[in-house]
Amino acid sequence: MQITTPIPDRHLAQAARLWGRAFVPGAGAMTPRIRPCHGIAAIGADGLLGGVAGFRDQDGGLLADLPLLARLLFRSAPPTADLVIDGIVVACPRKGIGRALLQEAAALALGSGRPGLRAEVALRNRSAMAFYAAAGFVEIGRGRYGWPWSGPVAILRRPV
């Protein structure tokens, strides 16, 4: 498996659809516009996209365009010096793809002088909470961040 950033052009539309279905409310058949420079792609030996991770920094996140209503509704978590994971989604869970994407995000954080990785995860998303815990993240706070319908969110952190 090849882990690469930015997301290659030939995989951009598929990465946008995969990530959008998981993280863009009401995306359905719509393909959101994403910023390849804020994404990491996992590409299998067969050349197919196996997963994608987004990250946020001072320049924004993976999603390129937020409609006005979304900008008004989204509640940001407190600022951080860490690199923020902007969602990880894989085509086939439990194959190590998510962990490989997370390792690349840690390398990016380290290379850019950031002290750690941060993830903001809805408490009801038990599989994501377990994934991050297994990857060494610890909860450093809770709040109502992200979309109003996300419910309570845990802020998770891991040093790099």
Q: What is the CATH number of the domain that holds 116?
A: 3.40.630.30
Cis peptide bond N-terminal to 67, omega within 30:
no
| DSSP at 49 | E
Digit-by-digit pLDDT tens for the chain (160 residues) are: 999 999 999 999 999 999 988 887 665 566 888 999 999 999 999 999 999 999 999 888 898 877 677 778 888 899 999 999 999 999 999 999 999 999 999 999 999 999 999 999 999 999 999 999 999 999 999 999 987 878 899 999 999 9
Beta strand spans in 5-137 (E): 39-43, 49-56, 83-90, 116-122
Contact yes or no for 33/20 (Cβ under 8 A): no
How many folded domains does the chain comprise? Answer: 1
Print the domain residue range for 95.
Answer: 2-159
Rounded to two decimals, what is the model's pTM? 0.91
What local confidence, expressed as pLDDT, does residue 64 receive? 87
- For 89, 95, 159, the CA distances from 9, given in Å and listed in that order, are 18, 24, 31
